[in-house]
Chains A and B, each alone.
Chain A
Amino acid sequence: MADKVFALPNVQTPSVPVKINPDKCIGCNTCVETCQIDVFIPNPKKGAPPIILHAEECWYCGCCATDCPTPGAMEFNWPLPLKPRWRNKETGVVSQLK
């Protein structure tokens, strides 16, 4: 199925407020219950990672990522235009969050 091309509406912006690592996520759905917006729905497959359904409604509160009980399972993902930048005062090198 993976190679099939479907006719789909555009993807919302920003599309991926958090990234879920399927190898680490235990599908406990804590994030589904934590999110006040219902950005996620549980996966129909028990134990599989939740599905991001209402991505564009995320208010970037971070609660899902900070409350996820499984280290490395969920990574908060600032949208591209909001990625913070900082500078090392001594070297002057400017960095930005990936």
Chain B
Amino acid sequence: MGTWHEYFKAEGTPPEWPYPIKFGEESEYETDVVVLGGGIAGCWAAISAARSGAKVAMFEKGDVRRSGAGGPGCDHWCNVPGNPLSRVEPDDWAIQEMNSLGDFSNGIGIQIQCREDYDTLLEMEQMGGKIRDDKDEFVGVEGRDPETKLMFSPRYSVDGSLAPAEGWGKPGFNPPEKRNNTVIRIWGSTFKPILKRECKKLGVNIIERTMATRILNENGRQGARVVGATGINARTGEFIIVKAKAAIIATSGSGFVYYFDSEHGGISTMYSRNQTGDGTVMAWKAGAKLTMMECSGASRFSGGLRHKWYTGGGDASYENVPLVDANNKRLPAPIQGWEDGGAMFSPQARIIAQIREGVKHGEYKLPFYGDFAAMKPEEAHATWDLMLNEESTTKVMVKTMTEGGFDKYSDQIMNYTLIEMQPSQQYRDAGSGGGIMTDWDLMTNVEGLFAAGMSTYSPGDHSYAAATGRYAGRKAAAYAKRVEQGEISREEIDREKKRVLAPTKRCGGIEWKELNVGVNRVMQYFASEFKNEEMLNLALEEIARIEENAVPQLFALDPHKLMRSLECLSIIEYAKIALNAMKERRLSSPKLRIERQDYPDADPEELKNYLALHLENDEIVFERIPIRFWGNMKEQYEAHNQDYTGVYKG
């Protein structure tokens, strides 16, 4: 019982749309700071802006309580070198992080994370989030500190251990006294409802079930300072206008530029459908600089009907769980445990090749298993009931498998790593690692426009999103105190309203799913692993044809489908930005995840620069900005944060 078809069969008629339809109607609000996206970064931004005295409004496509990639939970608070048991200094750790990420990642955000992540975590605890084993449920588990009851994670416990470090797996490789203690295990499934509660307590105007569609520039001039934002309610179709002095983009990245499955559109390990790059595109149209948009990596995570990472799709990255073959023989793969410093093996071509050879020659028998039964019982307990029970979409896996009879002490989860985790080159993450550029206030080149979380060109950590959101919130509030509200342009609003409502004027033509897969195909054929000038031009021409022929046929039968349709328009714009950036980067570089047949090498000078691009009068302007343009991270952070007061005191 419960499906639409069952209802129809029982009633003989479809249910009427359950919310009032308000196409064409408008609501207007006025605030100091408007936050776009109520995920992890967005909530923290709203809370810290409100605590800094600003009036705050926040758009969110879903319900803030569980929205975003971090809505269901999070079990790793990454990069907390400021915690009392850390063996590294925050400033040194930030440099180490930048080194391990290569030259291309957001050093400003990482410095902020390393400096303020522990304060952010303590504020999470203040609000009621669980960050330590206060009930002594995990006594005896490795990494648990009996004094503070903080639980350190094996993940990344050796410097730069995204890949196996030298000597991994050998006895004594990662002894307790040498671990960096920079990742803390937490009970993150409690966090998002608490963040929402706090937003409400602070009087944040939460505009839920509403997709933000445009940043408003002063007098409608691209590049001019921020004066507000618009949105469309995905249940009623009402058009929302928010006048604001500052805006913070916290909409995360884009999951659907290269792949989307029109039948099973939602299934994905890392993104829900709501993350479609809207914020990046809104910033772009407002005149903000983007960078690293030329990068695209083959996606290793499942989308469509592939097994999710933890139900067997991934490496045995269920922390500490050894991967074995059908005869219980250990595979030569790291397990994200203490013995290998928390390394992943799935991106390691050498290890995958070694396992494949072993399978071919009968050394390893299929299928493989994640061997919970081989673990010390207390470690199996911690992995199952703490890590997996808290790490986001894995909570329901723990629930359903436990109810279905799985026993963490005696069973092994079947693993399809060699099938599901092998990247198909055409299924890529667009602009992977790319996004919005900011200064030390996390403000973009557009005055009053800030960005935080995964919408900046950054790593995909929950704690990064929290710390940068919190930081952007207080900076935006300070900015809003200094300026007057600017003029919004009614003409710009009318144009935007017409654009967003256009698909509701038709009830036949091309539906959003077809449009999405149509764009995906262009990207898969012409901008996949290997690229060249002609291919990229072909892609741009095809997208121009899609815009000319298909977009005017886009139809939406109700406000929900309207939101999905508008997301496709973001995806088209995102694809164009990426293609233009790929064309402009005439080089091949693993660091930038770009391979061009016509430019197989890289000019070392070019590799010392970010490629930034932005719009001026709707024309693309390219710019080379030196890597590490942010200067000395420690000094710059300190210069910009002399008034920072640490953990919130109420």
Which A residues contact B (CB, under 8 angstroms)?
A: 1-2, 4, 6, 8, 11-16, 18-22, 33-39, 41-44, 49-63, 65-67, 76, 78-79, 81-82, 84-90, 94-95, 97-98
- CB neighbours (8 Å) of B62 from chain A are 35-38
* Cross-interface CB contact of A86 among B66, B412, B560, cutoff 8 Å: B412
CA distance A90 to B392 in the complex (A): 31
**Total B residues in contact with A, Cβ cutoff 8 Å:** 67
A71 CB, nearest partner CB in chain B, Å: 12
Q: Is the CB of B8 within 8 A of A6?
A: yes
Chain A to chain B contacts (Cβ below 8 Å), 7 pairs: A36-B63, A37-B272, A37-B274, A51-B4, A56-B266, A57-B266, A78-B400
Could you tell me which residues of chain B, from 485 to 542, have a CB within 8 Å of some CB in chain A?
A: none
- CB neighbours (8 Å) of A6 from chain B are 8-9, 12
A92 CB, nearest partner CB in chain B, Å: 9
Encode B35-62 as 1/0 by CB contact (under 8 A) with A: 0000000000000000000000000011
- CB neighbours (8 Å) of B7 from chain A are 43, 51
Q: Is the CB of B272 within 8 A of A59?
A: yes
Q: Is the CB of B65 within 8 A of A61?
A: no
Q: Is the CB of B410 within 8 A of A90?
A: yes
- CB neighbours (8 Å) of A57 from chain B are 265-266, 273, 564
Listed residue (B209, B400, B401) with the most chain A CB atoms within 10 angstroms of its CB: B400
Could you tell me which residues of chain B, from 383 to 427, have a CB within 8 Å of some CB in chain A?
A: 392-393, 395-397, 399-401, 404-407, 410-414
- CB neighbours (8 Å) of A61 from chain B are 66, 71-72, 272, 392-393, 396
B316 CB, nearest partner CB in chain A, Å: 13
* B88 close to chain A: CB less than 8 A: no
Q: Is the CB of A20 within 8 A of B2?
A: yes
Q: Which residue of B lies closest to A54 (CB)?
A: B560
Chain B residues touching A, majority SS: loop
- Ranked nearest first, the 10 interchain pairs of A and B with the lowest CB-CB distance are A62-B396, A36-B62, A20-B2, A89-B373, A85-B414, A59-B272, A36-B67, A84-B311, A57-B266, A59-B266
A20 CB, nearest partner CB in chain B, Å: 4
* Cross-interface CB contact of A84 among B63, B65, B264, B401, cutoff 8 Å: B401
- CB neighbours (8 Å) of A81 from chain B are 305, 307
Which B residues contact A (CB, under 8 angstroms)?
A: 1-5, 7-12, 15-18, 61-63, 65-68, 71-72, 189, 209, 234-235, 263-268, 271-274, 305, 307-308, 311-312, 328, 369, 371, 373-374, 392-393, 395-397, 399-401, 404-407, 410-414, 560, 564
Q: Is the CB of B71 within 8 A of A36?
A: yes
- CB neighbours (8 Å) of B11 from chain A are 1
- CB neighbours (8 Å) of B268 from chain A are 59
Q: Which residue of A lies closest to B234 (CB)?
A: A38
Given contacts A36-B67, A52-B4, A59-B272, contact A65 B411 (CB under 8 A): no
Q: Is the CB of B267 within 8 A of A79?
A: yes
- CB neighbours (8 Å) of A63 from chain B are 66, 71-72, 396
Given contacts A6-B9, A36-B63, contact A86 B406 (CB under 8 A): yes
A52 CB, nearest partner CB in chain B, Å: 5
Q: Which residue of B lies closest to A77 (CB)?
A: B400
B305 CB, nearest partner CB in chain A, Å: 5
* Cross-interface CB contact of B10 among A2, A34, A50, cutoff 8 Å: A2
- CB neighbours (8 Å) of A85 from chain B are 312, 413-414
Given contacts A37-B273, A86-B401, contact A58 B66 (CB under 8 A): no
Q: Is the CB of A86 within 8 A of B72?
A: no
A94 CB, nearest partner CB in chain B, Å: 7
- CB neighbours (8 Å) of A90 from chain B are 373, 410
Q: Is the CB of A66 within 8 A of B1?
A: no
* Cross-interface CB contact of A58 among B65, B267, B307, B308, cutoff 8 Å: B267
CA distance A87 to B312 in the complex (A): 12
* A2-B10, A38-B209, A84-B406 given; 9 more Cβ-contact pairs under 8 Å: A1-B12, A6-B12, A12-B263, A19-B1, A19-B2, A62-B397, A84-B400, A87-B414, A89-B373
- CB neighbours (8 Å) of A21 from chain B are 1
Q: Is the CB of B414 within 8 A of A43?
A: no
* Cross-interface CB contact of B3 among A15, A67, A89, cutoff 8 Å: A15
- CB neighbours (8 Å) of A86 from chain B are 369, 401, 406, 411-414
* Cross-interface CB contact of B18 among A34, A44, A88, cutoff 8 Å: A44
* Cross-interface CB contact of B411 among A13, A15, A87, A98, cutoff 8 Å: A87
CA distance A35 to B395 in the complex (A): 15
Given contacts A41-B15, A89-B412, contact A66 B312 (CB under 8 A): no
Q: Is the CB of A82 within 8 A of B308?
A: yes
B384 CB, nearest partner CB in chain A, Å: 12
- CB neighbours (8 Å) of B3 from chain A are 11, 15-16, 51-52, 55
Q: Is the CB of A36 within 8 A of B263?
A: no
- CB neighbours (8 Å) of B396 from chain A are 60-63, 65-66, 76
- CB neighbours (8 Å) of B413 from chain A are 84-86
Q: Which residue of B lies closest to A97 (CB)?
A: B404
CA distance A84 to B399 in the complex (A): 12
Q: Which residue of B lies closest to A87 (CB)?
A: B412
